[in-house]
Amino acid sequence: MAAPPEDLKAELLELRHKIEHHSTLYYRHDAPEIPDQEYDQLFDRLLEIEKAWPELITPDSPSQRVGSEPLSGFTQITHEIPMLSLDKVTDEEALQKFEKRIHKRFDSDKAIEYSCEPKIDGVAVSLLYENGVLTRAATRGDGTTGEDITHNVRTIADIPLRLKGKQIPKVLEVRGEIYMSKSGFARMNAQAEKAGEKVFANPRNAAAGTIRQLDSRITARRPLTMYCYSYGLVAGGDLPDTLSAVFDRFDDWGLPVNPQRKTCVGVESSYAYCLDLLARRNELDYEIDGVVIKVNHFDLQERLGMNARTPRWAMAYKFPAEEVSTVLKEVEFQVGRTGTITPVARLEPVFVGGVTVSNATLHNMDEIQRLGIKVGDAVIIRRAGDVIPKIVSVIADRRPKDAKPIVPPATCPICDSEIEHIEDEVLMRCTGGLFCSAQRTQSIIHFASRGAMDIDGLGSKLIKQLVDKQILTSVADIYSLQREPLLALERMGEKSVDNLLAAIENSKQVSLPRLLFALGIREVGEATAQSLASHFGTLKAIIDSSEDELVSIPDIGSIVAHHIRAFFDEKHNLDVTAALLKAGVCPAETKPVKADELPFAGQTFVVTGTLESMGRSEAREKLQKLGTKVAGSVSAKTTCVVAGPGAGSKLTKAESLGVKVIDESEFLSLLEQHDK
């Protein structure tokens, strides 16, 4: 087949350049230079050439914005750098405390520069550009794993398929919020209503539903747009030293950044920005639920570091929520996947914050008593954070004569197991962890996981299939799985099934600590499971133990002891445990050893880097058997650090603190000395 003529290639490049130029003027600046008819003629000519010469189609062609054939499902994307959530404040005092914490960490009162921007009520996404071309887009998901939505993001006119300008890194991950404007939402709903189609409740729901369409042609017809708010992975290039300068660089490259952003010095100036934006909230053509305030300089961000899940250098200032009144019709008690029993208010439907609300959280019985609420009461509803409906107060003078008190269930509403009430805790929990259908999927996923029974091939998706088809009703059913039913499942070939059945059979020979951890007893982690196994030696001895005996073990307090006894006092759990043993699960018994008799009792180890002879979880297990506490971070109290190849900051910190460091060969020698 003949190659496309060079003059045709040149025309195609010119067409793409013109279309992107006019799209930017139209969608980002609302300042079109040519009428729609001329724009359509340019686009039609582009499609004509690409249809005749499909080999000329590239990922950054404007034609890729029209959508393609539907996908069968989403694939998972792991974020190389996690997408973080932010701590939230709702008043000036809390914002001042945020800045005081920063000053305290730096031991300085020097003014802090902040980058402030509207907190868009949309969908957080990650865009990956390689050599300036958009190659992947993903949702935030749980912060670590999201869904591949590249097919949909390519259709959004506001997002460049190729960056323009200079100094673009070879790899650049851009993060932002995809949203639907108020005006676009209104137009879309008006068209849908006219056509007799479904209308959306609010712009955020519309954006979330649109970005997760399997058919990108639907996405292409809906008015989505985006503002960038940060970046993640960067390689083969550098970015400026401040977030405000990064926004300017993004703008130069053609990435959409919020024109309402502002750099403020000090928290008082930032708070004034918040109040100004709140006053203009209804004037904006997009929904916002607050302001994001970030330390502007990246070197200061790095010095401030992280809390467990949120950065210390950023804060979300949340705007006041909208409130309305309605009537509490009933209270239902729902069982969560971890056994927590939560009261849920069923309400007379009411419109608040752009959505119709018929349910609201009541959190727990303490909250019900604090509110003094009864079924039939008139109540005030708030959409806390503009998302979660919450009852905030009772309108006492509107209480009907037949109002009924709210009574908690005596047993689990799902499985009739005993309900656990812990002193000084407000939550109620079902004790039927291995039996309760509300907890079934989660308990089986945990049971099969790597740190527990380590059944390779029995992942969460397959478990959900098996539970949905009622093939698995408890963890014991894993050991009665048959070949033919497994072969009938989606994506399960003969080799996969054979490997799975072999892994299940292999898992029957298990250490006692792993089995204990796999049972999912509340607050019994790997270290506690090891302590129990070392102290008692057998599963039967643990089942028969008293609460006083359990409390006598170091690191097991009265609350954990209560959880262990509550678990084994529940007949359903004992039945499932007995079924596991009957199926051939055989936890290795050991001679009981008191904690203070173990060779490494009272010591703390940290394992970092990659070990060639074993995984980190196996190394941790071996150390715990010797009585050590295995920590995730290095401190002055650390006894020793085991450092394999690739050890990074933990090794550096250990050396700076003078903590003993050993390599893998020394570690193996240490284990061999104490191998019994």
Give the pLDDT score at 387: 55
Question: 610 — phi, psi (to 5°)?
Answer: -110, 125
Assigned domain for 614 exists: yes
Question: 30 — phi, psi (to 5°)?
Answer: 50, 40
Give the pLDDT score at 61: 79
- Structure-token match 């409740």, residue found: 201
Residues 283, 140 share a domain: yes
Assigned domain for 27 exists: yes
Count of CA atoms in the C-beta half-sphere (13 A) of 284: 22
Residues 583, 466 share a domain: yes
Assigned domain for 352 exists: no
Residues 582, 614 share a domain: no
Mean pLDDT of the chain: 86
pLDDT band at 373 (very low <50, low <70, confident <90, very high): very high
More confident residue, 593 or 524: 524
User: Which of 264, 286, 312 finishes a domain?
Assistant: 312
Residue type, 271: Y
Give the pLDDT score at 112: 94
Does position 385 have pLDDT exceeding 50, yes or no? no
Give the pLDDT score at 516: 92
Assigned domain for 452 exists: yes
Q: How far apart are CA 374 and CA 657, in angstroms?
A: 58
Residues 488, 515 share a domain: yes
Does position 28 have pLDDT exceeding 60, yes or no? no
Mean pLDDT lowest among 231-245, 580-594, 614-628: 614-628
Positions marked catalytic: 119
Looking up residue 158, the CATH number of its domain turns out to be: 3.30.470.30
pLDDT tens, residue by residue, 69-104: 556 678 888 988 888 888 888 889 999 999 999 999
pLDDT band at 353 (very low <50, low <70, confident <90, very high): low
Give the pLDDT score at 596: 64
Q: Which residues constitute the domain of residue 256?
A: 88-93+106-312
> What is the mean pLDDT of the segment spanning 14-37?
73
Residue 277 CB coordination number (10 Å): 22
Residues 110, 11 share a domain: no
Residues 573, 640 share a domain: no
Query: Residue 455 in contact with residue 507, Cβ under 8 Å?
Result: yes
Residues 299, 152 share a domain: yes
User: Which of 312, 332, 365 finishes a domain?
Assistant: 312
Q: Which residues pair with 114 in a beta bridge?
A: 264, 295
pLDDT tens, residue by residue, 275-308: 999 888 878 899 888 999 999 999 999 999 988 6
More confident residue, 116 or 592: 116
Looking up residue 648, the CATH number of its domain turns out to be: 3.40.50.10190
Q: How many domains does the chain have?
A: 4
Residues 579, 459 share a domain: yes
Looking up residue 462, the CATH number of its domain turns out to be: 1.10.150.20
Q: How far apart are CA 210 and CA 479, in angstroms?
A: 42
Does position 676 have pLDDT exceeding 80, yes or no? no
Residues 241, 182 share a domain: yes
Residues 619, 559 share a domain: no
Assigned domain for 78 exists: no
Residues 581, 466 share a domain: yes
Q: H-helix or E-strand containing 114?
A: strand 113-120
Looking up residue 10, the CATH number of its domain turns out to be: 1.10.287.610
pLDDT band at 256 (very low <50, low <70, confident <90, very high): very high
Assigned domain for 500 exists: yes
User: Which of 312, 342, 364 finishes a domain?
Assistant: 312
> What is the mean pLDDT of the segment spanning 411-415?
89
> What is the mean pLDDT of the segment spanning 218-223?
88
Assigned domain for 322 exists: no
Assigned domain for 279 exists: yes
Give the pLDDT score at 480: 93
- 116: which 2 tokens? 């402030």
Give the pLDDT score at 623: 85
Concatenated DSSP letters of 573-593:
HHHHHHHHHHTT-EEEP----
Residues 584, 453 share a domain: yes
